[in-house]
Amino acid sequence: MRVLIISYTLSIGDPSGFSLELLASVDYLYAQDDKKDVGEIIRKLTDWNKRKTNLFDKRHVKIAYSHLKDHASALSFG
């Protein structure tokens, strides 16, 4: 449910599986990490599993992180 709220808050419209997984992954790692740094999120994502490493490049993660940070007040992110 939180991922759907995130996707609509970010005005993605009808989100794709890719965008939902990207946002959910970045949101999850952000919530788990004390540092809250995009570089650390990228590192943890690549350590998570090979599929996510191949699916999301650094640019994707930076964009999702930036969107989540920009909408932090509406999402309780940050």
Per DSSP, the residues of 5-74 read: HHHHHTT--S--HHHHHHHHHHHHHHHH-SS--HHHHHHHHHHH-HHHHHH--HHHHHHHHHHHHHTHHH
Q: Measure CA 64 to chain center.
A: 5
Per-chain mean pLDDT for the chain: 78
pLDDT tens digits for 8-33?
445 555 567 888 889 889 988 888 86
pLDDT at 71: 74
Residue 65 in tokens: 């992180």
- What domain range is 58 assigned to? 2-75
Mean pLDDT of 48-58: 92
**What is the count of structural domains for the chain?**
1
